[in-house]
Amino acid sequence: MEAALTRITSHWAPLSRPDLRTESGSDDPFGNGSQRPRTREHKADSGLHGRRRLVCARCGHHITDEDARIRIGAQDEHVFVNPHGFVYRIVCFARAPGAREVGPAQTEFSWFPGYTWQVAACGRCDWHLGWWFRAGRNRFAGCISDRLRAIDSGDGDADQF
């Protein structure tokens, strides 16, 4: 996905669309009317032999699995810019047991309205992998796409995610 970069006035403004609103105009960030994430649908004939594991691109530590991807809003991938002007392409996951939370929860500049965020780091090498987002009991990880590698559990081949 390519996007022309322009001067961003809002620090949490997504560079991708649609907005985090549902067709009905509600503020439900999951777009399914339940305030709960919905899991991504997968095709049975994906051509993969085994489950694709996603590992830290730096040290190889298992972070999550591709089947943990979830849609936030209408998509499971988003492009955002932070307050310092850095652009990130993140992928959303319902679970990422290999990523640990770092520091206190923050409310300022959240990319997902109503959610706090915390830095997510690799549980082995402490490399910054993305962010944990939380609203009440709802929680998901937004991992920076180029900081994960995909490994097909069936044959051990690794690909950049």
Domain ranges of the chain: 49-160
More reliable by pLDDT, 1 or 87:
87
Q: What global pTM score does this model have?
A: 0.68
For 81-123, write each residue's pLDDT tens digit: 999 999 999 999 999 999 999 999 999 999 999 999 999 999 9
Work out the pLDDT band at 158, boundaries 50, 70, 90.
Answer: low
Distances (CA, A) of 39 to 44, 69, 77, 94, 129: 15, 6, 13, 8, 21
Task: Provide CATH code, domain 49-160.
Answer: 2.170.150.20
Beta strand pairing call for 158-160 and 148-152: antiparallel
- What is the average per-residue pLDDT within 109-138? 97
